[in-house]
Structure 1
Amino acid sequence: MTHELEDLAADVDAACRIRGTFTLRSGTITDEYFDKYRFEGDPVLLRRVAEAMVPLLPADTEVLGGLELGGVPIATVVSSLTGLPAVFVRKEAKTYGTCRLAEGGDFTGKTVTLIEDIVTTGGAVRNAAVALRELRATVHTVVCAIDRSEPGKNTLGEIELATVSLLTKADLDAVQR
Structure 2
Amino acid sequence: MSDHRARFLQLALNAEALRFGEFTLKSGRTSPYFFNAGRFDSGAALAGLAACYADAVEAAGLDFDLVFGPAYKGIPLATALACEYARRGRDLPLAFNRKEAKTHGEGGRLIGAKLAGRRALIVDDVITAGTAIREALAIIRDAGGVPAGIVIALDRQERVREDTSVSAAQAVADEQGIPVIAVATLSDLLAFAGERAALAAHRDALLAYRARYGVV
**TM-score band, normalised by the shorter chain?**
0.7 to 0.9
Which ranges of structure 2 fall in alignment gaps of 5 or more residues?
86-90, 160-165, 194-198, 200-216
* Distance change in 2, residues 1:72/1:138 (3 Å): same
**What is the TM-score normalised by the length of structure 1?**
0.82
> How many aligned residue pairs are there?
175
The offset of 1:128, in angstroms, is: 0.9
The offset of 1:12, in angstroms, is: 1.1
The higher radius of gyration belongs to: 2
Cα distance in 1 for partners of 2:134, 2:43 equals 28
Specify the alignment match of 1:48 in structure 2.
48
Matched, 1:100 2:103: no
Which aligned pairs between 1:1-177 and structure 2 lie closer than 5 A? 1-3=1-3, 5-14=5-14, 15-18=16-19, 22-28=23-29, 32-39=33-40, 41-55=41-55, 56=57, 60-82=63-85, 83-90=91-98, 92-97=99-104, 98-150=106-158, 152-154=166-168, 155-156=171-172, 157-176=174-193, 177=199
Residue 11 of structure 1: SS of its match in structure 2? helix
Cα distance in 1 for partners of 2:33, 2:149 equals 30
**Alpha-carbon displacement from aligned partner over 1:40-90 (angstroms, at most 9, x marks no partner):** x13323212211222415553221001112221121121112221111133
Paired AA for residue 43 in structure 2? P
The share of aligned pairs that are identical, in percent, is 23
Cα distance in 2 for partners of 1:149, 1:101 equals 32
Contact kept? 2:149, 2:179, Cα under 8 Å: yes
Which ranges of structure 1 fall in alignment gaps of 5 or more residues?
none
Q: CA RMSD in A?
A: 2.5
